[in-house]
Structure formats: structure tokens, C-alpha cells
Structure 1
Amino acid sequence: MVVLNKHKFMFLLSSCIALLLRAMHADCEKIGVNYGLNGDNLPAPGDAASLVKRNNIGKARIFLANHDILKAFANSGIDIIVGVDNSELQAVASSQDSANGWVNDNVKAFYPSTNIKYIAVGNEVLGMPINTQYVPYLVPAILNIQTALETANLQNNIKVSTAHAMTVIGTGFPPSQGTFKDTVKYSMISILQFLQDHASPFMANVHPYHSYDDNRKFIALEYALFKPTPLVKDGNLSYTNLFDAMVDTLISAMGSLGHPDLPIMITETGWPSAGKDVATIENAQTYNNNLIKHVLSKTGTPKRPGRSIDTYIFALFNEDLKTYAETEKHWGLFYPNGQPVYPVNFSPN
């Protein structure tokens, strides 16, 4: 039997703790990106995966469990969020066998060579009138996917959550008074308790572009772009940018339902480069470069100073088949041919 003296034991203990802390924070050391497929001229998944890796982007979110994409990211070192599409929620919610099959076909078949870290069950289901029909299935689908992961013995490696739009917020200003809409609170209470029980993050799509565009009388463009601007005071806290204010609003809303310390993950944020007066290449470049510098600096937000914010930029490519507004086609960091829409420093430090 090997006996360690006190000094050696303390050294090994501190080394183990350091390794654990590095593993816990590794997710936040690189920026992520959303990889959408609403285009008729997009590159092959292998080329897209190479583009992501070549630009030192550490994480990718895919909205559907596309097998070609999952294969393309195998052995890439890129962390993956894979989505259960809203159209799949009813089937997954209604049958544990269906949920087990989804995990077996779309996760277990590719893991661990493809480093799937999270499953996002549904996207912007709550608070969006267009998605009202999916609301009854959201929480049951989350629970069934979690059970399926446990059946596959993957629950310690892969976390389950769901991505929310900012439209779940009722009271949004000042950030300290953030609350959820009454119409989503019943579902949100169950979701937040699930996240607490399983050490999973609250996923949110945070778009200062939309908040600015809808409230130009009250929000300065500079504030939305992380440019120098007069401080916005909220009690003893001071805000220098809209992104932090929106994130802290969500944190306050979670606190109002008894979960003030849940980790938060920004599954979408970005700025369009064309299609409207303030949707310009200059503004998109300014926003995304300032965003990356901010989130990777580990400055945190006024409510959570010094804490990293795991963040995914929307989106990897311009997607010409997107509808609703012309700006929807121009959120990409890259053109489909792999050329950058504008220079971005993905590793500012």
C-alpha cells in the first residue's frame, strides 16, 4: 500500500480540483455558433465542420439531429448542442419508447466520437404565439428525453434543456425587476425545477438587435452595440450594454420563481448585416466582435460579475431560404462559399 505524506496528498488534491475546475469552465473558453440549414447553396457538412474548426469556434448548435452533420463533427473537438425539433415534441412526449428511440438514433449512435454536450428539447416554444400548439408537449418531452438518456447511461455526460425567446419575459425593465409572463409561469416552474434537479443550464436566445429595433425611442444604438455610452443605473448596479441588461433580466425572472443561481447559456445572439437601416455589415461586425471580447473576458454581468457566459452566435451562414423579413437571410458570419461576411476575431485574448 502506498502512503502519501501530507504535502503530496495536498498537491494531488489541489491538482485534481484544478483539473475539475478547468473541465467545468472549458465550455466558456471559446465562442459557439448556430449552424442552420435554411439555404439552397450551403456547403457540405464536412466543409462546414472544417470551417468551424479552422476559425477556432469551439461549439456548434444544430437545430435538427441531422446525421450527416453529426458525422461531420466526429473527432473534431467541437462541442455540440443537438435539437429536438418542435415538430417532434408530441411524439417524444407521448411515448417513452419514442424518446428512447430518438436518443438511440440521434445521440447514442454518434456519441462520444461526436461530442454532444446538450440536447435542446424544442426551440422558443413558450411565449411565442406561433408555437402555442407545442406547449402541452414541452415539459413531458423534456422528462422523457432525460429518462432516455438515463436508460442509455448518458445522463452524466449530456444535459437536457430547452431554448427560450425573450418573449417569455413580462416585466423587462429595470433588469432587477425581471419577471416571466403569467402565461408561461406554469410551464416555467416545472422547467426551472428540472434544470435545478439535473444541473442543466437555462437556455435563452438573447437578441439586442430586436430589442433595439422595437424600442428605438428608449434604447441608444451604441448601448446595443457594446459601444461607450452613459451608464444605465439599476439600484446599485450599472449597465454599459443591452446584452448584459437582457441576461440579468432573465436571471431576475428565474430568481422570482425561486431559482436565482441557475447557470444561463445564451443559445442565440447576433446582428444582421443587411435588410434594414441598422442591419449593416459595420454594425454586425461591431456587435459580434464586441460580444466575443465581452463574453470571453469573463467579466460577467452586473448581477453575476466574474462569471463566464456560454454563448452561441447566430449564425454560421447567411441562409437565403429564411422568410418573414429580409434581415432573416443575413445573420451569417460567413457566406455559403466559406468567405467571411466581415472580419471576426473569434479569439480576442
Structure 2
Amino acid sequence: MYIQFLSHIISLLSIIFVHLESFADGAPVGVCYGRVGNNLPPPTAVVGLLQANGIQNVRLFDADAATLRSFASTGISLMIDIPNESLPSIASGTANSTVDWLISNVFSHIPPSQVRYLAVGPEAFVRDAFYTPYVVPAITNLHGALQSVGLAGRIKISSPQPISVMSGFYPPSSAHFDPLIKPAMIPLLQFLRDSGSPLMVNLYPYEVYVSHSNRIPLEYALFKADAEFGDSGLMYDNLLDASIDAFVHAMEREGFQGIRVVVAETGWPTACGEAAGVDNALTYNDNVVRRAVNGVGTPKRPKEEMEVYMFDLFDENERGGDEYQKHFGIFSLAGVKLYDLRFSSN
């Protein structure tokens, strides 16, 4: 009775707000909205900026209540990260407690019709092994909670992982998952296959190029290569396609066919790194966006549209790591584009 009552409440919330008829409607390109900074504009101003630029898909790196409320009734579709710190309690929860968690942290702030994805435990497999055992159990509980309230068909769940979950990825046909990570990847892939959910990947050809500049030409990372290279009868002229297809080959090597790939993060820095700069950021990001909005797939999956989320909306002055990681912003803090990147086919 408890879950049936909550299901009724959530259904009413979905009806009250504007219903998104199809995930295919609107721009096929999203933007990551990172908030690791002390000088960022308020979420309400950010929503206005997104709407002014026709951006209809956004990734949020946490379920901050005020940020979620700013997006309510805007029609903007969200990918919402569930951070690693929340995984142990969700993984050990009951059906009722998991539904409670979703209502308290998500659906009391944003209508279910605006939630496209839940991204659970981002990069946990490589960043913090403590949380690795909790990723799939948390995903399973969240999926069960969504099923109990009739939302599992609308909201898909996955776990964004970087290319470093593979110990070999170049050329793509040689790709395989790191043997130390594979025990965690296989249950994730089983869930994705059984639930019809995509594999989310965070891909940064910039970082691959910087780490392997002696072997990978800059032009190949920037979609400017004059020559293609062949691999298993397929021709590649850019590193992003090769990276996506590496994941496809790695999945198929483990017996998982047909799992869709969503690029949950990609971008190019504008400063403070080798080959970083506004011109190269525009070149890379514009090529990614053009391919996505024109429905261009990869050599291995030419008919599968490439759904992508561009990183990042603004520079984030408190982000850790190398200095260049603070400089992925597409917009200035005043809301002006740093370079002329268009988010639609118009």
C-alpha cells in the first residue's frame, strides 16, 4: 500500500508539470553544469542562459535541492549524478527506503518527467575502490524503486566510467577491460543489457593526446587528420570515434552486444595545458556537436546517433587536479560564449 500510494503521488506530479513527450525531442546535445567554484552565477540565471541558447539537456553532478528546483517546469531534461558517498546507504536500503530517498532528494524538487538519467557512482571503479562494491547494488535498488512507482521505462540508470577502465583501447578492436576492474564491470553490463540502459562513458581525447603525444597526432584528436587508419576493416579519422568503438569492442569481447553508448562527458580545455586554447576547444567541441546533431555515428555503429554531454558550462576555479581542469568553460561567468559553439543544427 505504501509504494502504491507513493506511485500515485509521483504520477500526479508528472501530470502537473509539462510532460516531455519523447527523449528524442529537442537538441541531441547536452551540457555538463559543474558547480565546483566560488564565483558562479546562481542556478536561476544559469537556467535562463541555457534556455537562451536552446540547450535542452543538462548533466548535474549532484542532486542539490536548490539547483533542481531552478530547473522545475523549464522542460529541460536532466541527467542527475548520485555521488559515491550516497551509495552505501542506497545499496543497503529497502524498497521503501529507496523510494523515500528518490522522493526526498529528487522528485520533491523536480518532476519525474524532466529526469532522463540517473548517473550512479561516477568513475567509482577507478577513483575510489571503497565504493566499487556498492555501485551495482545501489543501481539495482534504484531501478527497483523506479519500477515500483512506474518510472523505470522513462528514467534510465547507468554509471559513467572513464576510458581507464580498459587496460588496452588502441586500436579499438584490441580493447579489453582491465582485469582488476572487470569483476565490477560485468555485473554493470548485465544490468545495462537487461534494463535497456546505456553505458555512460567520460571521454577526453585531450587527455589521451597529452599522455601519448609521441604516438597520437594532435590533428587526430581534433578531427583534423588528413589520413584515416584502418582497424578490422573500419576506417578512423578521429580519436573520439576510436574511443567509443573501443568500449563497444570491449563489451562485445565479454559477450554483451547492442548496449548503447552515451558520452556523459567530453570537452577540450581553453587554457593552462599543452594544446589547450580557445581555437582548439572550438575545433574539437564544434566537431563533436555537429556530428551529434547530424546523427553521425561511429565507424562500428554508423547508424547509432551519438548522444553527448559537453563539459563544461563554466570554468570551475575550485576544481582539483591539473590547472587545465579548471578551464573547460564554454561560457564566461557573465553568460557570454567564449567561442562560437552552436548547440543545434540551425
Same fold (TM over 0.5): yes
2:252 to 255, 277, 285: 255
Q: Deviation at 1:23?
A: 3.7
**Identity between Structure 1 and Structure 2 (%):** 37
1:136-164 residue CA offsets vs partner (Å, 9 max, x unmatched): 11111111111121223221221111111
1:203-282 equivalences in 2 (<5 Å): 203-282=200-279
Aligned with 1:246: secondary structure?
helix
1:250-309 residue CA offsets vs partner (Å, 9 max, x unmatched): 011111111121111000000000011311111111111111111222120000012201
Moved more, 330-339 or 146-155: 146-155
Q: Deviation at 1:99?
A: 2.5
Q: Report the CA distance shift for 1:149/1:183 in structure 2 as closer, same or farther (over 3 A).
A: same
Structure 1 match to 2:297: 300
For 2:345 and 2:39, how far apart are their aligned partners in 1? 30
Aligned with 2:25: secondary structure?
helix
Aligned with 1:89: secondary structure?
helix
Q: Deviation at 1:100?
A: 2.4
Q: Deviation at 1:67?
A: 1.3
Aligned with 2:49: secondary structure?
helix
Moved more, 229-238 or 240-249: 229-238
For 2:268 and 2:345, how far apart are their aligned partners in 1? 19
Q: Deviation at 1:330?
A: 0.3
Structure 1 match to 2:98: 99
1:281-320 equivalences in 2 (<5 Å): 281-320=278-317
Q: Work out whether residues 206 and 269 of structure 1, in 8 Å CA contact, stay in contact via their aligned partners in 2.
A: yes
Q: Work out whether residues 23 and 116 of structure 2, in 8 Å CA contact, stay in contact via their aligned partners in 1.
A: no
Q: Size of the alignment, in residue pairs?
A: 325
1:210-255 residue CA offsets vs partner (Å, 9 max, x unmatched): 1101000111101101114210111210001100000000011111
For 2:284 and 2:323, how far apart are their aligned partners in 1? 19
Q: Work out whether residues 169 and 181 of structure 1, in 8 Å CA contact, stay in contact via their aligned partners in 2.
A: yes
1:80 to 75, 78, 81: 78
Letter in 2 for 1:281: V
Aligned with 1:204: secondary structure?
strand
2:149 to 128, 148, 152: 152
Q: Report the CA distance shift for 1:113/1:188 in structure 2 as closer, same or farther (over 3 A).
A: closer
Moved more, 303-312 or 108-117: 108-117
For 1:228 and 1:185, how far apart are their aligned partners in 2? 33
Letter in 2 for 1:119: L
Letter in 1 for 2:325: E
Letter in 1 for 2:271: A
Q: Tell me, yes or no, if structure 1 residue 136 matches structure 2 residue 114.
A: no
For 1:345 and 1:193, how far apart are their aligned partners in 2? 37
1:165-176 equivalences in 2 (<5 Å): 165-176=162-173
For 1:52 and 1:114, how far apart are their aligned partners in 2? 18
Per the normalisation by structure 2, the TM-score is: 0.90
Q: Which runs of 5+ in 1 are unaligned?
A: 1-21
1:9-88 equivalences in 2 (<5 Å): 23=22, 25-26=24-25, 29-88=27-86
Q: Which runs of 5+ in 2 are unaligned?
A: 1-20
Q: Work out whether residues 74 and 114 of structure 1, in 8 Å CA contact, stay in contact via their aligned partners in 2.
A: no
For 1:114 and 1:54, how far apart are their aligned partners in 2? 21
1:171-210 equivalences in 2 (<5 Å): 171-210=168-207
1:70-124 residue CA offsets vs partner (Å, 9 max, x unmatched): 1111122211011111111111112225432221112332453760111111100
Structure 1 match to 2:335: 338
Q: Tell me, yes or no, if structure 1 residue 121 matches structure 2 residue 120.
A: yes
For 1:108 and 1:76, how far apart are their aligned partners in 2? 15
Moved more, 101-110 or 152-161: 101-110
Q: Work out whether residues 319 and 330 of structure 1, in 8 Å CA contact, stay in contact via their aligned partners in 2.
A: yes
Give the ranges of 4+ consecutive aligned residues of structure 1 lying more than 6 Å apart after TM superposition.
Answer: none
Aligned with 2:290: secondary structure?
helix
